[in-house]
Amino acid sequence: MAVGALKPRWGQPLTGIISFCFFFVMAMITWFIFSDPRGPIGWFPYPFVMYLAMMILVGLWQHMFLGDWPFQSIGQPLRGVIMTIANLVIVWFVIDVLFYRVLGTGFNFLSYYGLEAANAAGKLPKVAAAGASGKLAQIAVVCFVLIGFYSYPVFTIFFGKWPHMPSDLKQPAKGLAEIGWASMITLFCYAVLIAPFFGVVFPGAVLNPSWWTEIAGTSHVHWVFGWWEWAIVILFMTPNVWRMKPWSAITLPQPWKGLVSTAISFIAAYAIALLCRELIPLWVPADTLHHLEAAKGASEVQRFFWIHSAEIAGFTLIPFLIWHHYFDDMAPGSNVDSWGGFFFRTIGVFLFAAILYWIFYYGNFGHWGLGNHHMTELAERFSHGESLIWNFWWIIPLLWNEWFFHKWPFYVHEH
């Protein structure tokens, strides 16, 4: 009998509820093991955040570009197990070899070992040495992944895999060609938006300092985080709960459709980030801003506004991903692709994001649930919460189950 489309094993909404609970428990257990300061390893926030970020990016390469090659013919759950192991091996190779030992040979801020050696020899500026030199390399890798979260999948989502499709390329040539093209764009964006920050950390004539200081009010790379994270959210909500709306209304051929869609997403992302900056003081305690300004000046307050805008964006990840992948974009009415469904899910995502935000900061889940000891006082929670780390970690079990295990065992094939 032919194998058909996937369907929820227990119907809806029960399948979505069971999967949500499973992924939450899985995220909590693995968080305690690897990241929670009270756990056995305690990698909070670094290098934990670097590894989890690279795991998602490599997983995207494996599934979205390479189409699970060369394991696509293996049955589940063995395929998912093998792809997870392969992911961990590739992540180690990309970080420890490609970044630290290859790219880091030319750009020392990408080399953990190079920065540690320079620090031991007393060759680093005080601003860099005081911040733990090796951590700066880990930050540099995380920044590459931040750029890559948009610049890699955008060619699948907005450009319809242009310029590689349509073509007669087979895997792995097709996937490697797409990875190579997207990597060139990623490195270009990285050079413009990330490298100048390290010109501030390592002052000198070689690296230019942040060119965005005047427009952002801070030289920190968190200005990029503040609006780029919203661009990522817009990009991924497009094929998920938005079901390609409103971009499906653009009838231009590629690459023009992709270019217009990308431009609109960046404009919208920056506008939302600016709105967040205006609204944040409405609920964040004034003491939080006073403490930041007293510690490092007015620019530190501006830095906080930008990174907290990114953290607000991060709270939409769990709602829109679980809604799409495990609640099947449920909405009132029989047509999930209707504009009514579009607005229902959009409003719902932001409502659930607000609830999760309240639980994390005002309910202090970041402290009692995740072990972040910086969050005991309300005024300290917002500037030290590191909520993006948790939100990205929570979605890894979900994405792995979707990408590597193809929703096994929560979904079954129709016959």
For 206-239, write each residue's pLDDT tens digit.
889 999 999 999 999 999 999 999 999 999 999 9
What is the per-residue pLDDT across 96-119, written as a single tens digit (0 to 9) for each? 999 999 999 988 889 999 888 888
Q: What is the pLDDT of residue 246?
A: 93
- pTM summary value: 0.95
Residue 2 has pLDDT above 50, yes or no: no
Size (the chain), residues: 415
Bridge partners of 206? none
Q: How far apart are the first and last CA of the chain?
A: 6
Give CA–CA dist 149/53, Å, rounded: 9
What is the average pLDDT score of the chain? Answer: 93
Q: What is the pLDDT of residue 1?
A: 37
Q: For 213-332, where are the alpha helices, taking DSSP H only? A: 213-216, 222-237, 256-279, 286-296, 298-314, 317-325
Per the structure block, which two tokens stand in for 331? 């909405």
Closest CA to 307 of 394, 238, 217: 217
What residues contact residue 12 under an 8 Å CB cut-off, 6+ apart?
327, 328, 330
